[in-house]
């Protein structure tokens, strides 16, 4: 619900900006036309009349976010897990964009399947058998990657230590300034294989 409200606000703001741009372009074209018309050139020393813009009722303009804001990065193929689409790269890319464009572009990542080798940070019990797991990048750097899994499905999480490597495969559910939430997660523990 919050996402749809935010997108509605963004679309409304974009419509207002587009209407203002259209009115501004029409006014500048009208002024350029008046300056080049023969009646205004007949008297060289006469001052050009001040252009006026008549107020008009706003007209509805339907613009989708994809039309209004160019998307810099095309989302990867949805059918396979991407190892090259890194969590830290996604967040740093979004930080470089203007706020409105970053909000729109976050949606292009939703549903992308990713596979990342990350490191255990912490976990929080979420009911009888569910835990929310928080992982970080190498050297404990952000963004935090979190998800909810069944504790009995992944026994190594019962004795997980901070910094333990975890390979996570899942779909991006949402992105925030310093965190990414995944869904449909599958985990593996590289160190557990060597023991």
Question: Which tokens go with 55?
Answer: 């107020």
Final residue in a domain of this structure, among 68, 96, 124:
68
Query: What total of structural domains would you count in the chain?
Result: 2
> Residue 174: inside a domain, yes or no?
yes
CATH for 155: 2.40.50.140
pTM score, two decimals? Answer: 0.57
Nearest to 120 by CA among 90, 144, 85, 86: 144
pLDDT tens string 110-135? 999 999 999 999 999 998 889 999 99
pLDDT tens string 42-79? 444 445 555 555 555 555 544 444 444 444 444 444 45
> Residue 156: inside a domain, yes or no?
yes
- 46 & 95 share domain: no
Nearest to 87 by CA among 141, 21, 26, 31: 141
- 95 & 183 share domain: yes
- 109 & 153 share domain: yes
Which backbone phi and psi does 49 adopt, to 5 degrees?
A: -65, 150
> Residue 73: inside a domain, yes or no?
no
Q: Which domain holds residue 17?
A: 2-68
């Amino acid at each position: 619900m919050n996402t749809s409200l935010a997108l509605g606000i963004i679309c409304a703001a974009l419509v207002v900006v587009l209407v203002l741009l259209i009115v501004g372009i029409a006014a500048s074209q009208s002024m350029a036309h008046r300056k080049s018309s023969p009646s205004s050139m007949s008297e060289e020393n006469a001052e050009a009349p001040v252009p006026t813009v008549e107020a008009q009722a706003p007209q509805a303009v339907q613009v989708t976010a994809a039309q209004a804001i160019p998307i810099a990065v095309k989302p990867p193929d949805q059918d396979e897990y991407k190892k090259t689409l890194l969590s830290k790269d996604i967040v740093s890319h979004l930080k470089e964009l203007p706020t409105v464009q970053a909000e729109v572009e976050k949606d292009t990542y939703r549903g992308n399947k990713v596979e990342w080798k990350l490191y255990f940070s912490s976990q929080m019990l979420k009911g009888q058998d569910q835990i929310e797991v928080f992982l970080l990048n190498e050297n404990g750097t952000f963004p935090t990657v979190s998800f909810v899994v069944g504790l009995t499905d992944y026994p190594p999480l019962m004795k997980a230590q901070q910094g333990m490597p975890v390979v996570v495969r899942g779909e991006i559910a949402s992105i925030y300034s310093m965190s990414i939430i995944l869904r449909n997660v599958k985990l593996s523990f590289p160190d557990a294989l060597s023991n």
